[in-house]
Each structure stands twice: as structure tokens, then as C-alpha cells.
Structure 1
Amino acid sequence: MQHYQDTSFSESAQAVVDEIVEADGNARFWSTDVSDEEAISGAFRSVYEHFGRLDVLVNNAGIIGPSDPANRIQLSDWERIIRGNVTGPFLCTKHAIPYLRHSAAAASSAPDWRRAVAALLPWNTANRQNG
């Protein structure tokens, strides 16, 4: 999902999807405004309906704002940056969690899934004990 409407990015993403599908894979590309809660909710629902699960969320959308000193930045520019870089990741996390939980519960029959996930988390018990 992307925050901005960049035609060249969308075309590149669709080309990757086409390549995956041609190789008998399953892929789709969603483009949405990460600051629009209804759009985000719909996108995650669509992802889940298409793939039947959601295993991971990577909050990688963001925008670059003005580099002027604070006293020269317009409030509207500041609010746009906050919507894209703070509100967007929050909304994605908020709407991904139910699908992530459902997918994790469905995968819980795999005996080592919790250890595998815990090993990837920086705040796991082993890291707290070591430093």
C-alpha cells in the first residue's frame, strides 16, 4: 500500500505482480492512502479475502516534508507529514492486528511458530536477559 499516487511506482509494482503470476505465484498490488482509515480497513479486508491470511505487516509508507526551519513550515504541511508518517502506520497497525491474530491462531498448530516469532522480536526474553 502506498500513501501517494505515483504512476511509475504503481506500474513497477504491477509489473512485479505480473511476473510473479506468470511464474505460477499468487500476488496482487494494492494502492491506497495510508491516512484514510476507511481505505486502510478496506485494503486489509481485501488482502485477507484474497490470500486467506495476513502473516506480517511492514509499515514502510512515508513522505518527506519541507526542510525549512519550523517557523517557516505551514501547519497544513506539518499535518500532511503527520498523517502520512504517524497516523498512517498507526491505522495500518490498527487494522492489520485482527487479521494477524487470526492468521497466527490458525497457524498455532505448528509447534515452533511462537519460538520462531519470538526469536525475531528485539524485545524477546533472551534479549532482556542479555542486555
Structure 2
Amino acid sequence: MGIVVVSHSRPLAEAAVALARQMLPGRELAVEVAAGTDDGGLGTDAVAVSEAITAADSGAGVVVLMDLGSAVLSADTALELLDDDLRARVVLSPAPFVEGLVGAVVVAAGGADRDRVAAEALRGLAPKQAHLGAPG
């Protein structure tokens, strides 16, 4: 099971991954980052995302989390660059970026399958909503 983090900012993505990895002492998990531009600027790149998906894939599936806007578009475009078999194992998650990533890495490291990892990522906002209440 692999996870890909797509962000406009490499420092933001790396910080989110570092935070999530704090939940995995002594455990390994394939987490790839596709973030920023080659020159260190802000942006996303569908080719970089497709390469990260390929690198994260072990045959068990990949969950992709994106920060916002064009990161979603880049991830969606990246799917078109993958072969059909790999594309079928990828889930683009609408989960919250940081909270979803933390939940996803915890259950993925515990051996959960792609669908369970994607479901856990989606529940990322539940603790805040339970504490603060949903806006209405």
C-alpha cells in the first residue's frame, strides 16, 4: 500500500509527511511526494505525480492526497499517464490534506487495504467536527 502527497509547496508536503511519519515509530510505509516546481517554486506537475504514483505502488494500491485546486487537476491528469492496471489501483482522495494524511498512514502501516486507507483519510475531519460542531 502506498500513499502519494501532492502539494503546490514542497516544504508544506514534506512537513505534512514528517508529521504523519511521527505516528509510525519503527514502521515503514511508501509515501511519495510530488510537490512544487523543479526550480523550487509553487506549483504541481502531472508527470511528477504519475512518477510518484508509480514509485509508491507495490501492487496493493495507492491513495493520493492533494492540497487544493490545481493539485487535484494534476493528480487527475496523472491518471491518464498511467497504464490501465496501475490506474485501477489508484484512489484520488478528497480527504483533508493533513488530517487525512495522518489517518491514512496509520491504517496503511497497519496493513489496511487501499479502500480502508481511503476511507480513513476521509474521516480526517471527524474529530474536529465532533469537538467544534459542524458549521451550519
Q: Give me the TM-score of the superposition, normalised by structure 2.
A: 0.41
Instruction: Write 1 or 2 for the structure with the bigger share of strand.
Output: 2
Instruction: Write 1 or 2 for the structure with the bigger share of helix.
Output: 1
The one of the two structures with greater contact order (alpha-carbon pairs below 8 A, sep at least 6) is: 2
Higher radius of gyration, 1 or 2: 1
Q: Give me the TM-score of the superposition, normalised by structure 1.
A: 0.42
